[in-house]
Structure 1
């Protein structure tokens, strides 16, 4: 049986809590915020689905993975940035990878390269 470190378990809790809180902020009743959690493979997403008049609304707002004990932010369409919220919760910047940036750009940030 594979054991999960308490750090990774805490990261899962933080990510799920932040995505659930973000999902509550949808201002348009025609748009549904769906949280998708796969804690077995450590994939987490917040997706918007719906219609605004005759325009289809669909998109991944947040996509976060946990890979080798680090939090990989694959997509972040928020203003505040989930990386900043994770840091406020006590996650070290060395455990957060901005996966949406190229590896070369990551080396210029305060966060992990990968």
Structure 2
């Protein structure tokens, strides 16, 4: 399994169960060797983070691409802060990628552990 595939598994763990059950996500190669996160039917959104298999920020990049795909293709705001109902953003805490709420300026959970976060 490649680092990007592991990163995708980590990010998928944070998706709502109904989205995980309904969709299969994969990487699709663009016109200039750029990778995109795509749905099972080939739909994707190209306006997000650049994906590369050679970066230490794989999980953060995949999480940003997943957010873009969810919003721009599926019209789903994801993820949201359970305390403030604001969308969460990718950030880093102690060099680890996390979901941060800008409304309360707090870390909700590490990416991949959103379902373990207190609600």
TM-score normalised by structure 1 residue count:
0.30
Question: Larger relative CO (CA 8 A, sep 6+): 1 or 2?
Answer: 2
Judging by fraction of residues, say which structure has more strand.
Answer: 1
- What TM-score does the superposition give when structure 2 sets the normalisation length? 0.30
